[in-house]
Amino acid sequence: MKKIPLPFLWLYGLLAVYAAALASMPFCPALQRAMIQKFHLRSPSFGEWAFFQFAPSMYGFANELWLTDAPVEPRKLLSSPDQAPSAVHLWTNHYPFWPVTFSARREDLLRTTKDHYVYLRTRFHQQELWTAYRLTPSGRWERIEAP
């Protein structure tokens, strides 16, 4: 019998860990929370964020993004959309910050001389997380506490 080289054993082990994590995700609130935090750029460490980047993340997560010109109480975006008449609401699949980071929309946002506010809501099973960011005209991101 041929001996399997050590690098391949590490690769197979890593694949087994990912497979076990994905299979247990519907039943493990801690894993669900870690995946949601990845979307919001709120993982406790870079290592955890990087680890979860390899896990498929586009299925089952409900990612919503709102862009506004002024700070808004996030829950009012759901219950009273007229509280933020200039809000743009987007559903995104697996990388919710894409519309304001790498798409043409970011260039449009940076052409203005005022701050923009980004509200992100992600849901999966019983888990939900809201995060708010302010985007300055210089392109700097700052996580803020929602008003």
Q: What's the pLDDT tens digit per position in 50-65? A: 888 877 766 678 888 8
| Span 22-39, pLDDT tens digits | 888 888 999 889 888 888
Number of domains making up the chain: 1
Please indicate, yes or no, if residue 1 is contained in any of the structural domains.
no
| Span 81-99, pLDDT tens digits | 666 666 778 787 777 777 6
Please indicate, yes or no, if residue 21 is contained in any of the structural domains.
yes
Residue 146: pLDDT band (50, 70, 90) is: low
The pairing of strands 141-144 and 62-68 is: unpaired
Please indicate, yes or no, if residue 55 is contained in any of the structural domains.
yes
Mean pLDDT of the chain: 81
Range of the domain at 116: 6-144
Please indicate, yes or no, if residue 36 is contained in any of the structural domains.
yes
Distance of alpha carbon 83 from alpha carbon 29, whole angstroms: 33
The pairing of strands 116-124 and 127-135 is: antiparallel
